[in-house]
Structure 1
C-alpha cells in the first residue's frame, strides 16, 4: 500500500492484525463474515492472538457494548450507534465493517442534501436517454452493492438525512429487498448484508426517525469515557497513531500534558472541577474526546514546525482556546472565568494559565 495515502481504510491499516485473527479463529462465523463474533470483539478491544500477534485496541470502553453491537449485526436487525460528537461512533462502525466484511468503504454520508438515490439507486442519464432503462444505465448505491454482495453498509449521521429519504430504508431493512420498478425487478439481499448507522445526540429534533424505522434498529449508546484515566489513554493512543500517519516532526506528548488537556475538557463538560468542590459554567461546545485529539495534534504540529519538537503549554493553548470559545461572547466569559478561578490556582498549571490568558 502506498505510503503517500493520507489515511488508509481500516482494513488496509490493520491488515496484518485481521489476517492474524483470521488464521487462529476457530469459532463459528455467520455467513460471509471474515471473522467470528469473538474474533471481531478481540479486534476491536485488543489483546493477543494464539500465535503471539498483538492486537491494538480500537475501542477503549465497555466490552459489553461492543458485544451487543457485534451480536446485533449477526441478526436481521440493523445497528444504530448513538452518542454525542466525538464518542467514536464512525470509528467503531468503520472497524466493525473492516473486521466483518473486509470492506469499510461502502458508506452513505448523511447530510441535509442527501437524496434518495444515495440509498436506493440512480441513473446514468446519458445511457438512460440513449437506451432507456437498462441494467447498464443503473447507478448502484452503496446500499445496493452491499445487498448484492452480502456486505455491511455504513450510513453516517442518519438523523441529518431528510425524513422522506430515511424511510427508503424501511423496505430494505424489513423485507431485505430493493425494488427497481423501472426494470421490473428487485435486488434481494444476500446473507451477510446489514446496515450500521450512526446518529448524533445533538441532532435530536433535526430529522427524527419514524417509529417504523426505529423498530428496524437496535440502538447502542456510546458514552463518553467514564474516568479521567480512561479518556487520557484514549487520547494518548489516537494521537500517537495519528502522529505517525501524519509524520509530524515532534515527540509524542508527555502524558502529563494530555492529562491537563483532558482535565480541562472534562471539567468544562461536566460543569464541576474533578474534585467536585467548584461548580463551573459550561461552554456551548461539546468538548468531546475527538476534539481533544484534534487539539493535541494541532499543538504537535506547532511544536514540530515552529518549536523544538516538544509540546509545551503555549502549543497546547493555541488549540485549546479555539476548542472552548465557539461563541465569542458567551463562551469567552466562561473561559476567562475558568482560567481565573481554576487554572490560575492549580499547582503546576501556571504556564498553561499564562499561555491561555495571552491568547484569550
Structure 2
C-alpha cells in the first residue's frame, strides 16, 4: 500500500549552517512537492545573518506557501527547535499527519520520504521511520541503536572484544539491517514521525539541549505502545556534525554530560543513573589500562574521564530536572507564538 495523501510537514533546523540548510531545503522541497507536503526552516537562534541568507535564497525559488522560514527567539537546542517547527502546523492552519525531520546537512535521495510513508502505512503502530544514512564519501553511517543501559555503558567504554561478546545483546550501535527492521531508536537526521503519536505522548523533552533527545522520545513512545522502524531502502546523504562540531571536540561539552545523566535519570531513576555512570567509568579505566599495556589509541576527547567524574560528583546533591515534554495537541497559533 502506498500512501500519497497525508499532510506532511518537513522541519529543518538551521544553526549557523545557512548554505547547507538551503541545500537541504531544496532536496526536501523536491520530496514535498511530489507528496503535497510543506517545508518549514527554523532559524534556531544562530546569532548571525543566517535568517537573512536563507530567506534571500528561498525567496528566489518562489516556493510560496510550500516553504516557510521562521525564526526561533532563542536557541533551545535540537528538541526545542523541532518542537517550535512542529507547532507551526501547515500553512492553512491545519495539523499535519506526519512530521519529517531533516538535518540541515542532510539530503534525501529522490523518493526517500515516500518509502518511509509506505512503512508507516504497513505498520499502524509505527511512530517513527528512519532512513539509511551515508556520508558524502558513500560510507554507511550507523544510525540504528539499542536503548542505553548499564551493560551498554560498560561495553561501549571498555571497547574490549571479550566484554563485547559477553554483553552483545547490550551493545548500543547495531549492525545495519538490510531490510526494514523494528529497532529501539534511530537518529533524527532523516526521520518521519507520526503526529498522532506525538499528540498522545508529547513532543521532544526540552530539558535536553543536544544529544539523547531522540533516544528519550523513542523510549517514551515504546512505553506507550509505539514502534520505531529503520528503512534501509529510504536513503539520505549526511555530512554529520556540521552544527555541533562533534568530530573536532577538543573537550566534551557540559551539555553532553547533562543530557546523558538526564536520560538515565528520567528513564530509569537516579540509582540506575549512578550505576550506569559507574559502569562507564569502569569501562573507561579498562580502556585506559589497555592503552597503557597495548598502546591503544585515545578514543575519547581529551580529559573525558576526568570531566565525567567531576560532572557526576557535582550532581550528587542537585535535584533532578523535571521533564518538559511539550504538548503538541494543536498547531502554534498567533496568540501562542
Task: Indicate the TM-score class for this superposition, using the shorter chain for normalisation.
Answer: under 0.3
- Choose between structure 1 and 2: higher helix proportion: 1
Query: Normalising by structure 2, what TM-score?
Result: 0.28
- Choose between structure 1 and 2: higher strand proportion: 2
Bigger radius of gyration among the two: 1
Query: Normalising by structure 1, what TM-score?
Result: 0.27
